[in-house]
Amino acid sequence: MQEEFDCTYLEALAETGENLFHGSILQEELSELSVKRLRKSYDSIQLDRFSSEEIRKSFQLAILKGMKQNIQQNHQMTPDSIGMFMGYLADKFLSGKEIHLLDPAVGTGNLLTTVINHMHNRTIEATGVEIDDILIKLAYINANLQEHPIQFFNQDALEPLFTELADAVICDLPVGYYPNDVRAAEYKLKADEGHAYAHHLFIEQSVNHVKEGGYLFLLVPNGLFESQLAGKLHEYLKEHAIIQGLFQLPLTLFKNEQAAKSILILQKKGENVKPPKEALLVNLPSLSKAQAVDRILTQVNEWIKENK
């Protein structure tokens, strides 16, 4: 299909995903020979034989192949191990059988669907926002193939969002400067001079679109609270949210120390929302060290029993 349409691998993957979901070949422009070849390969694929997680992983591998062929700054995927751990945390912190999740930087939907697949015995609906056309197309195909009810919005997530308040936000925060100074000026976390930090604005936007008492599970740079604008972020969080936990991820997950990240867990303030006795601060060991990870999970479970 990539050859037929002279397009990128990711664009061809999106078309292929549509065909698999609908169970037919939707592209009328294809040659007769290509149609025969595609039908033969599609007939050998029975999606109902596979779990949502198996489909997600397969689709993820195809996306990663496409990203290697056409590398772009915003075409990066959150590692599986991080997504699975965020899903574990979300499952532990969130109560109730019916959950609405929001990912304001959904990308290909891999992180959001990983979290959904690791939250057990829940009815989950979700909303994803993404500005990149090809990424959001891959995201909605990803969701369709896994049969997840996710609504997608193709827009700048820092513009007004017309979505219902979520029970929780799941997000790998885009890091860097936000170029739209006019829009940034409407945020409390705007910069007094120059461009604001996009990741700061995403935190504020996420707090605005979660219910009182709702949670935010955010993948943040390790230097989040050490930057030039950290003071303003401290003041904002002190007024609007409670820091429930901070999990510093092992450096082995990242190319270098500068790229290292942590999982920040916030809870939006509201009536009857009480802070924990102390925040859950964890320096995660290498995820390949099973015994050390088990000790951390035991620590998390004990902390939740005492504070939730």
Task: Supply the pLDDT for residue 73.
Answer: 57
Residue 191 in this model has a pLDDT that exceeds 70: yes
Task: Supply the pLDDT for residue 15.
Answer: 93
Task: Supply the pLDDT for residue 218.
Answer: 98
Report the C-alpha gap between 270 and 234 in whole angstroms: 18
pLDDT (average), residues 138-163:
96
Segment 226-252, tens digit of pLDDT: 888 899 999 999 999 999 999 999 988
Residues of the chain with CATH 1.10.150.470: 2-69
Task: Supply the pLDDT for residue 229.
Answer: 86
The answer to whether 285 and 292 are in contact (CB under 8 A) is yes
pLDDT (average), residues 147-162:
96
Segment 50-109, tens digit of pLDDT: 999 999 999 999 999 998 876 665 557 888 889 999 999 999 999 889 999 999 999 999
The more confident residue out of 268 and 96 is 268
Segment 276-299, tens digit of pLDDT: 999 999 999 888 888 999 999 999
Segment 110-141, tens digit of pLDDT: 999 999 999 988 999 999 999 999 999 999 99
Report the C-alpha gap between 274 and 268 in whole angstroms: 10
- The CATH class that applies to domain 2-69 reads mainly alpha
Task: Supply the pLDDT for residue 74.
Answer: 56
Residues of the chain with CATH 3.40.50.150: 80-307
Report the C-alpha gap between 111 and 49 in whole angstroms: 23
Task: Supply the pLDDT for residue 159.
Answer: 97
- Helical axes 80-93 vs 110-117, angle rounded to 10°: 50
Tokens of 117: 């697949």
Q: What DSSP element (H or E) covers 135? A: helix 133-146
Residue (of 160, 8, 172) closest to 74 by Cα position: 172
Report the C-alpha gap between 130 and 122 in whole angstroms: 25
Task: Supply the pLDDT for residue 28.
Answer: 87
Segment 194-224, tens digit of pLDDT: 999 999 999 999 999 999 999 999 999 999 9
Task: Supply the pLDDT for residue 253.
Answer: 86
Q: Domain 80-307 in CATH: superfamily?
A: Vaccinia Virus protein VP39 (3.40.50.150)
Task: Supply the pLDDT for residue 40.
Answer: 85
Segment 1-52, tens digit of pLDDT: 888 889 999 999 999 999 999 888 999 888 888 888 888 888 888 888 999 9
Task: Give the three-state DSSP class for 58.
Answer: helix
Q: What is the pTM of this model?
A: 0.93
